[in-house]
Structure 1
């Protein structure tokens, strides 16, 4: 059995909280130089861009910057920072609720992605926290949708990440969410929703389909105001968009949801007027390292409930 090669540490520092890109050259190939390979492999960047990066010593190997005529070395590692498109700043703070030698727990605002993905890279909670707290090795313990506000947990040291991620994988974390959605007379609550959810890569909306259940959520009505209700959502599983899909399936689409029950035209990147009224309120678990109970609670309030006059109509 062939062992994976040991990956050396990156010789380039992070930039704006983002790690450099790492490439490994193929074990064989027809290229005489590293440049020849990169021009073919990174064709979308363009030959001029590759040449400029080599000239500026921006492509680095384990022994330092790569020269334009450096010979192709099978299996060698390279690093560089990719050019990032401009992102609309998310004009809301990330509030740090807890910080110790193992964990950072924050109150994430709506619209801010938890980790870099797609067009959201520097405007993410992870990148901000790495920069602002001076913690370049910070990593996420779990995921929280970009549109959902509330508690997000990060691990300070890489060697501890597995222990905390295992808590979420093995469903040992009690998660409590809050949502504002229409009040539906005659709907018996509380109730537990169980069904099968499928989320295809590249498709915005998840869907329910026949088959063994892979998702479970308990839905409770906390209080009612006219046509709206404030709900407590207790997921047992963690499928993508699970709570949003379960609420919509009950005829209770969460206010501000641009996907369920209908996929709406995507708003402008700097349009923050109508946040999804879903909040990760509580995280509760037994610490895998100390055995002590841990409980964190969001300080945020959902705007449609706390300030209904300011909630956008339509």
Structure 2
């Protein structure tokens, strides 16, 4: 089993941190979980000015704190050369522009040929190895931006950010019919249809809260291009919500119709914008992705019927 490439962090104690205990500085600066703090302490992975000290010891202004995160197994995913575009990468995170038709992680139905296999190959070419930790996920046939954390700390930090709704992600979709309203909010609970298992449906009561904001970008004679932002992240949320208001996404066989496969071979849904607060840089990072060719072709066809 290949070991994951170790992540490291450093910090110079500030005047405001003068006299505080080491564990207080670590908690306030890095927001390490209690479990991670315990692992760092037990393993002697934190040094101050090159020496291991007690976590209850007090630090001084200018002290150099160095942290080496615990090594982990990178997993059993075999590397395979898979085409995808890297939009951004550093020692903590990689942002990918995922093409349509690509599954993110191996499953029983897709044991290989996934984005995770491609990432393992991409990193192996540089002699690196990481456990694939998706922060945001996309359906197999949804294209666009998604973030993957390279180690447990970044994944936990960004997952907490997601739970606090401090991030932003936006999608573009092409839906059936001309939307009457220029913008609006779809606030409908989502639950599981127990009879069909894999199909998620709107339920009147007892489902999980789900909120989607939409804004019309362009109208065509029988379709609409719409921009969407999620306030929650339920499985298939956008697809279900749009279908529930009578505007299913073109190409969506599960929540729409199979009659439009001649227009596009998958649901016309693209993750076009992503904004996250970077755990190391302590600043907002944002990325955008233009529409893929198949959605551009779809729009060109729709405009012919104007």
* The two structures share one fold, judged by TM-score above 0.5: yes
**CA RMSD, 1 decimal:** 3.1
Tell me the SS of whatever aligns to 1:280.
Answer: strand
Matches for 1:178-217 after TM superposition, within 5 Å: 178-184=172-178, 187-199=180-192, 203-211=197-205, 214-217=209-212
1:175 maps to which residue?
A: 169
Mapped to 1, the partners of 2:130 and 2:233 lie a distance apart of: 27
Q: Which residue of 2 aligns with 1:164?
A: 158
Q: What is the number of residues matched between the two proteins? A: 225
Other structure's SS at 2:178 match: coil
**Pairing partner for 2:241 from 235, 240, 246:** 246
Match of 2:213 in 1: 218
SS at match of 1:295: strand
| Partner SS, residue 153 of structure 1 | strand
After superposition, where does 1:268-307 map in structure 2 within 5 Å? 274-301=265-292, 303-306=294-297
CA positional deviation for 1:107: 0.3
How many angstroms does 1:204 deviate by?
Answer: 2.5
Q: How far did residue 245 of structure 1 move?
A: 0.7
1:227 corresponds to 2:222: yes
Supply the distance in 2 between the matched residues of 1:284 and 1:302 (Cα, whole angstroms): 24
TM-score by length of 2: 0.65
Deviation at 1:251, TM superposition (A): 1.2
Residues 9 and 284 from structure 1, CA distance in 2 versus in 1: closer, same or farther, beyond 3 angstroms? closer
2:178–2:219 Cα contact (<8 Å) kept: no
8 Å Cα contact 1:180-1:305 kept in structure 2: no
The answer for unaligned runs of 5 or more in structure 1 is 1-7, 19-88, 268-272
Q: Does structure 1 retain, via aligned residues, the 8 Å contact 2:83–2:118?
A: no
Give the CA deviation at 1:200. 5.3
- Give ranges in structure 2 of 5+ residues lacking alignment: 1-70
Report if aligned partners of 1:17, 1:136 keep a CA contact under 8 Å in 2: no
Distance between the aligned counterparts of 1:235 and 1:9, measured in 2?
A: 33
